[in-house]
A = this chain, B = another copy of it.
Amino acid sequence: MTMAAATPYPQTERTVPTRIPNRGSWDRETVHSILDEGYVCHLGFVRDGAPVVLPTLYARVGDRVYAHGSTGSPALRGARQDSGLPVCLTVTHVDGLVLARSAFHHSINYRSVVVHGTAYQVTDPAERSEALDALVEHIVPGRADDSRRANAKELAATAVIRLDLAEASAKIRTGGPSDDPEDLELPYWSGVLPVIHGYGAPIPADDLNPSIAVPAYLGTR
């Protein structure tokens, strides 16, 4: 079941920010675009009553997020249960450092998405293949067809979990500092230091056959 892109995610008790609520968004396209720009999420779950947060690769496919890891990881073991594993999946992009005249109003420009839900292990072979392709394609578009796909042994060693995007929200801060009026004449520089993300020149593997050129899909990043 796919919801129309125009339908926002529902506002729930845990997806409405407790402060600065006007930074919140439940717009599906906004949530998707923030998810699609990243590939490392921070996946939280509860283990022995205590929180655990681990960086994890993920990819969105429609209204689902897939993550993968070793079949031995505690998160993925938990997701193997029929009842699934309650998780919180968070993705954050930092866009700038916001320097106000007052220390209090210093901030960060960012875009984040928080997804609450239950993760389940994916067992259907077709869905597993689709998810693993998406995980490679999400990080480097064009790469799934330009690498050797997983064989049966590798598939058996890989756990894939699925989290439905049902309770998700974005939080966004943009723009310059918001100083109090009485601070505007203070002699401190104020503004935004943009944060830049990019890629350096590809570094070939030591044992790469030198006749194999850097693929075009890396040059366009």
Interface residues of A (CB under 8 A from B): 14, 18-19, 39-40, 42-47, 49-55, 57, 70, 72-74, 86-90, 92, 94, 96-97, 99-104, 106, 108, 110, 112, 114, 116, 132-133, 136, 139-140, 143-144, 146-151, 154, 157-158, 176-177, 179, 183-209, 212-215, 218, 221
- Does A51 contact B57, Cβ atoms closer than 8 Å? no
Looking at A51, A144, A149, the one whose CB has the most chain B CB atoms below 10 A away is A51
Contact residues in B for A110 (Cβ distance below 8 Å): 40, 55
Q: How many Å from the CB of A219 to the closest CB on chain B?
A: 10
| Distance, CA A184 to CA B139, complexed state (A) | 22
Rounded to whole angstroms, the CA-CA distance of A204 and B101 in the bound complex is 12
Q: Measured between alpha carbons, how far is A72 from B17 in the docked complex, in Å?
A: 10
